[in-house]
Amino acid sequence: MGATADDFDLAADASGDRVRRARSLHPDSRRAVGEIRDRLGPGPFALVVLFVSANRLPDEVAAAVMEHFPGQVVIGATTAGEIGDEGYLDGAIVGVGLPLGHFRAQIMVINDLDRFPEHLSIQDVLRLRGALAGMVPNWPNEFVFLLSDGLSLMEDRLVSALGPALGGAPLFGGSAADGVDFRRTCVLADGAFRPNVAVLAFIRTNCRVKVFRFDHLVPTDTRMVVTEADPANRIVREINAEPAARAYARALGRDPDQLSPFIFAAHPVVVRIGGAHHVCAIQRVEPNGDLKFFTAIDEGLVLTLAEGQDIAAHLKLSLDELSPEGPPEAIIACECILRRLEVEETQVKVAMSEMLARHNVVGFNSYGEQLNMLHVNQTFTGVAIYPPPADPAGPTGR
């Protein structure tokens, strides 16, 4: 069930790079994965992560991974957009390599997510974390990275089940995506892209790390109550005892026919959990007027309308707060598809891309994000990786 790169020769990691990033836009997936390998440079790696455009054929990418990364542990996900060295990308493959000189990883693949309690053992999770700590007992920092099928509807239950086994290790992750089609989302694990799968990467490092989540949304005074729902399918049938789409549109002062993904992005609903507001993002309006959500929803839940601040200004402020002494070595991020839609609709993609590139962000646009025991939406969630405290290269050097 577990996999480790601990047997590789540490002397081979001679470059000194703490995190390596690469991207390829080559239309041939075999060539693209080869370019990723070349740009990441020589291993060995504790872990390689690939974010793969949903426009590509997953089987072709998987075959190329087996060819170009033999003996390496590689995981990944399909996307609704990629983030690379130039910021936002489309149609790309983006790679992150975590060299053995600074990282160790243990991998757990969870198959058959629709029946995951049968395949997830908390004891196995604890054993993997213990084995990882035993590899490098003097390395103090750890985090957990989760990639999950974004159409499985299981992320909420999965992170809730994992929580008791995480101890003090912060978890973040993203739900695999399929552009804006919502038809087939796949996770790369054990050499293949498959739906109905999740993969957990337990990572330990001598680098400083900070797991974070932020969004640019502010709750308003407008509240609504879910009066009829289908929680298993994340569907709300009624809000305030009237058809859900009509009630939501009424709260916005709009006609239900005007509802669109951009409206959902600009006017999300949030719920209060543990003293903080979290977005329950709307995916679409069903033909019968129901609302389909990206996250768990239930009857009796109080929904609060939220309004967005300037997304570009908020991103700058948030990334600057992660970079008090200069940009991190890398930020691995999962950003909700609804943020990407807002960025494109408001025509701030160039400015946002420049900020993402300046702060060494790499990642993908997802169908939802995970933070510790919560599955959330419309956020920018990830881990900032900094040099080790005693590293003579300093906070900004390599």
Strands (E), 261-323: 269-273, 276-280, 282-285, 291-293, 302-308
What share of the chain in percent tops pLDDT 70? 93
pLDDT range class, residue 396, cuts 50, 70, 90: very low
> So what's the pLDDT on residue 311?
95
Q: Which residue has the higher pLDDT, 11 or 160?
A: 160
DSSP notation for 213-268: EE--EEEEEEEEEEEEEEGGGTEEEEETTEEHHHHHHHHHT--GGG--HHHHHHS-
> So what's the pLDDT on residue 14?
36
> So what's the pLDDT on residue 15?
40
Residue 1 has pLDDT above 80, yes or no: no
Mean pLDDT of 141-148: 97
> In degrees, to the nearest 5, what angle opens at C-alpha 40 toward C-alphas 38 and 41?
65
The two structure tokens encoding residue 8 = 């590789």
* 162-194 pLDDT, tens digit each: 888 888 899 999 999 999 999 999 999 999 999
* 309-339 pLDDT, tens digit each: 999 999 999 999 998 888 899 999 999 999 9
> So what's the pLDDT on residue 5?
38
* 224-271 pLDDT, tens digit each: 999 999 998 999 999 999 999 999 999 999 999 999 988 998 899 999
> So what's the pLDDT on residue 291?
96
What share of the chain in percent tops pLDDT 90? 76
Q: Give the end-to-end CA distance of the chain in Å, rounded to a whole number.
A: 34
> So what's the pLDDT on residue 391?
55
Residue 394 has pLDDT above 60, yes or no: no
Mean pLDDT of 15-43: 91
* 56-86 pLDDT, tens digit each: 999 999 999 999 999 999 999 999 999 999 9
* 328-382 pLDDT, tens digit each: 999 999 999 999 999 999 999 999 999 999 999 999 999 999 999 999 899 999 9
Q: If phi over 0 gives left and psi between -120 and 50 gives alpha, with beta otherwise, what is residue 312? A: alpha
C-alpha 67: how far from chain center: 26
272-292 b/e with 16+ CB inside 10 Å = b? eeeeebbbbbbbbbeeebbbb
Q: Which residue has the higher pLDDT, 7 or 289?
A: 289
Residue 288 has pLDDT above 80, yes or no: yes
> So what's the pLDDT on residue 395?
44
